[in-house]
Amino acid sequence: MTSIYISDPIHADVLADVQAAADVVHLGFGPEKVDYLAIADSVDGIILRTETFTREMIEASPKLKIIARHGVGTDNVDLAAASDNGVWVTVTPNANSNAVAEYVFALLLSAARKTGPAVELVRSKVWSDGKAGLVGFELSGRTLGIVGFGAIGRRVAAIGQGFGMNIIVSDPIAHSHDVAKTGAALVELETLLRESDVITVHAPLLPSTHHMISRHEIARMKKNAFIINTSRGGLIDEEALVEGLESGAIAGAALDVLEAESVDMKNPLQHNTLPLGSTAGLVVTPHIAGQTEDSLRAMGSMSWAEVRTVLDGVRPQYPVNADNIRITQAADA
Ligand code: NAD
C-alpha cells in the first residue's frame, strides 16, 4: 500500500494523477488537512512545498523513502536527518526559473514606475493632481547587479539585457569567461554593490549566505539603488534594510520573500509603518515569484515523477543528498 503526503496545494491535474496512483493521499492543507506527525508512520513519499520538515518528522517516518521538493530551495528540509535516515531529497531544477526571473521585472517595473501608488491614486478618485509624485526611472542604460548566477540569475540577465541594462554578476563559483559569453561581467560583490542601480539576489539560503546583505553592504550601495529579493528572506538583514530605507541610504526594495513567511504586524516592511517617503519604493508580495500555471504544472509533475521513481526502487533524477544518503533504496545507486 502506497501512502503519499502532500504538504501544500499543487497543480490540480498532478494532484489527480497522485490520487489515481496512490492508495492513500494525505493532504497538509485544506479541509482534509492532517497533522503530519499523526500519519507519519504510514508515509512512503512526500511532495513538499513550503512546510518545514524537521528531524523529528523524518525520524517519525519509518517507511519514508523520498521528500520531493516542489521547487529548488531545500532550506526547509533537515537534509542531514534525511540522509541519516536513508531518505532521498530531490528538487525540480529549472521548473520555475523563468517564472521567478520574469517576476523580478514585474517587481522592478512596479517599483520603478510606482504603479502601486498610481493605482491607489485613481481608486481614491484623483487624476492629474497626484502625478507629480509618480515620476519613475527607466531601466535602459542602468546597471543591474545579479548576486548568484545560477538558473534564475542567468535568465534575469537575459531579460535585463532585453531592457538595455548593463549586467554585472557576483557568484563564487562562476568563471569570468563563462559570464562574459552571456554579455555580462563577473565582479566582486563589493564592486557590484558600488556600481549597481538595481541589485537582485538569487543565491540560495545557506549558513554562509544568511544576512549576506546587511548594514555593511547597504552602506556601499548607491543612494538611488533598488534591491530585489525573490530568493529567500534570510539573505537580507531586514533591520538593516529598514534602517537603509528610513535613512535614505537606498531608494527602495522589492521583496517577494521575508524572513518570517507569515503576517507579522511588527514588521515595518509588511505594514508600511516606515516614515512617509521611504515607502515610496517599497513593494512586498507573499512569495509568489515562482507561481505560474506553467511552473506549478512543471514542478508538480517533476516532483511526482521523482516520488514514483524512488518508490519503484530507482535512483531519482535530481537528488540533493546523493553524496550523504546513508541507506539508498535505489536499485542502481
Ligand atoms: P541555482 O542553484 O541554479 O543558483 C544559485 C547560484 O547562487 C549558484 O550559481 C551559486 O554558486 C550562487 N551562490 C551561492 N552562494 C553565493 C554567494 N555567497 N554569492 C553569490 N552567489 C552565490 O539556483 P536557482 O534555481 O537560480 O535559485 C536560486 C534561489 O532562488 C533558490 O535557492 C531558492 O531559494 C530561490 N527561489 C525562490 C522562488 C520563489 O518563488 N520566490 C522560486 C524558486 C527559487
Of 123, 42, 112, 149, residue with least CA distance to 283: 112
* Ligand 1 in reach of 279 Cβ (< 6 A): no
pLDDT of residue 333: 39
What is the spatial distance between Cα 142 and Cα 94, in angstroms, rounded to a whole number? Answer: 27
Best of 213, 231, 258 to mutate for ligand 1, by most ligand atoms within 8 A of CB? Answer: 231
Average pLDDT, stretch 96-105?
97
Q: Give residue for cell 508538480.
A: 300
* Residue 37 reports pLDDT greater than 90: yes
**DSSP element (H, E) containing 228:** strand 226-229
Q: How would you classify the pairing of strands 226-229 and 166-170? A: unpaired
Best of 8, 75, 90, 100 to mutate for ligand 1, by most ligand atoms within 8 A of CB? Answer: 100
Average pLDDT, stretch 255-281?
76
- State pLDDT tens for residues 180-214: 999 999 999 999 999 999 999 999 999 999 999 99
What is the spatial distance between Cα 205 and Cα 282, in angstroms, rounded to a whole number? Answer: 22
Q: Which value, in Å, is the radius of gyration of the alpha carbons in the chain?
A: 22
pLDDT of residue 254: 93
- State pLDDT tens for residues 309-329: 999 999 999 999 999 898 644
What is the spatial distance between Cα 261 and Cα 234, in angstroms, rounded to a whole number? Answer: 10
Q: CA 119, 124, 127, 132: dihedral to nearest 10 degrees?
A: -70
Contact 298, 95 (CB under 8 A): yes
Question: Which atom belonging to ligand 1 lies closest to the Cα atom of 203?
Answer: 7
What is the spatial distance between Cα 7 and Cα 264, in angstroms, rounded to a whole number? Answer: 22
Q: What is the DSSP letter of 209?
A: T
* Ligand 1 in reach of 297 Cβ (< 6 A): no
Average pLDDT, stretch 116-138?
89
* Ligand 1 in reach of 173 Cβ (< 6 A): yes
* Residue 43 reports pLDDT greater than 90: yes
> From the CA of 70, how far away is ligand 1's center (Å)?
15
What is the spatial distance between Cα 285 and Cα 143, in angstroms, rounded to a whole number? Answer: 24
Which cell numbers hold the place of 125?
478618485
> From the CA of 213, how far away is ligand 1's center (Å)?
14
* Ligand 1 in reach of 72 Cβ (< 6 A): yes
> From the CA of 333, how far away is ligand 1's center (Å)?
27
Of 94, 74, 154, residue with least CA distance to 322: 74
Q: What is the DSSP letter of 275?
A: P
* Ligand 1 in reach of 100 Cβ (< 6 A): yes
Proportion of the chain above pLDDT 90, given as a percent = 81
What is the spatial distance between Cα 152 and Cα 202, in angstroms, rounded to a whole number? Answer: 7
* Residue 294 reports pLDDT greater than 50: yes
> From the CA of 149, how far away is ligand 1's center (Å)?
8
Q: What is the pTM of this model?
A: 0.87
* Ligand 1 in reach of 107 Cβ (< 6 A): no
Atom 35, ligand 1: residue with shortest CA distance: 231
Atom 15, ligand 1: residue with shortest CA distance: 203
Strand ordering across the sheet containing 3-6: 24-27, 3-6, 45-48, 66-69, 88-90
Give the angle subtended at the CA of 230 by the CAs of 160 and 288, to the nearest 5°. Answer: 110
Question: Which atom belonging to ligand 1 lies closest to the Cα atom of 147?
Answer: 20
Contact 220, 195 (CB under 8 A): no
Contact 280, 114 (CB under 8 A): yes
What is the spatial distance between Cα 273 and Cα 261, in angstroms, rounded to a whole number? Answer: 18
Residues taking part in catalysis? 232, 261, 287
> From the CA of 203, how far away is ligand 1's center (Å)?
4
- State pLDDT tens for residues 146-178: 999 999 999 999 999 999 999 999 999 999 999
* Ligand 1 in reach of 96 Cβ (< 6 A): yes
> From the CA of 73, how far away is ligand 1's center (Å)?
8
Contact 251, 223 (CB under 8 A): yes
